[in-house]
Copies of this chain bind each other. A is one copy, B any other.
Amino acid sequence: MKDQHELKKGSTQTLILAVLGDAPSHGYAIAREIERRSASALKMGEGALYPALRALENDGFISSAWELQLSGPARKVYTLTEKGQGELARQKSAWQKFSEAVNSVIGGAPRGQTT
């Protein structure tokens, strides 16, 4: 595939960016939020989550800051950067294009080409 390349690599990233696009959050909470918004249809494992967060930070799409808690373990809170906002828009659009393309294929064979 071509855009699926992006999709496969990025559906995890897209989801994370989308959540951070609404508000800064930390890893554990991001995973729960994705689960909640998707009504548990999507579950992000820690083995996928943390490497993805690191990759996003390496690319400059998000930035992190440790936040000590009065109670419980410290949290690493991530914030979407300006660069990350552009990337989020790009990935959203790539997802839409991809999902429309898949729907076109599985939707059936169009007989008259309206090209």
Binding site for B on A (CB under 8 A): 1-4, 7-8, 11-12, 14-15, 18-19, 22-23, 25, 29, 33-34, 37-39, 41-45, 48, 92, 95, 97-106, 108-110, 112, 114-115
Q: Which residues of B contact A23 (CB under 8 A)?
A: 109, 112, 114
Copies of this protein, total: 2
A44 to B101, CA, bound (A): 13
Supplied contacts A23-B114, A39-B104, 19 more A-B pairs, CB within 8 Å = A2-B41, A3-B41, A3-B42, A11-B102, A15-B105, A18-B105, A22-B108, A22-B112, A25-B115, A29-B115, A37-B105, A38-B102, A41-B98, A41-B101, A41-B104, A42-B102, A42-B105, A99-B99, A99-B102
Q: A22-B109, A37-B109, A42-B1 are in contact. Are A15 and B102 (CB under 8 A)?
A: yes
